[in-house]
Amino acid sequence: MLKLYRFISGPDDKDFCMRITDLINKGWELHHGPTLTFNGTSCIVGQALTKEVVNETYSTPIDLTKY
């Protein structure tokens, strides 16, 4: 089994929420809570996600977008 990890970041807006929603619906799971910072003009949010893939083993490079 292969366990994948991704960290998605971007402006705190509906597009960010839709990216995370899309990944959740593709089988990714939230890994802990989100992070939030302020860069002087806007809020930047980040979310870690993980996914377990059966019948695959780790090798590099991994194209996470195919999962």
Confidence grade of residue 37 (pLDDT, cut at 50, 70, 90): very high
pLDDT attached to residue 66: 86
Q: What is the mean pLDDT of residues 37-48?
A: 96
- The answer on pLDDT for 65 being more than 90 is no
Q: What is the pTM of this model?
A: 0.86
Residues 6+ apart with CB under 8 A from 16: 8, 10, 45
- Are the CB atoms for 51 and 4 separated by under 8 Å? yes
Instruction: Give the closest residue to 48 by CA, choosing from 15, 20, 16.
Output: 20
Q: How many helices (H) and strands (E) does the chain have?
A: 1, 4
Complete domains list, the chain, with CATH:
2-54 (3.30.70)
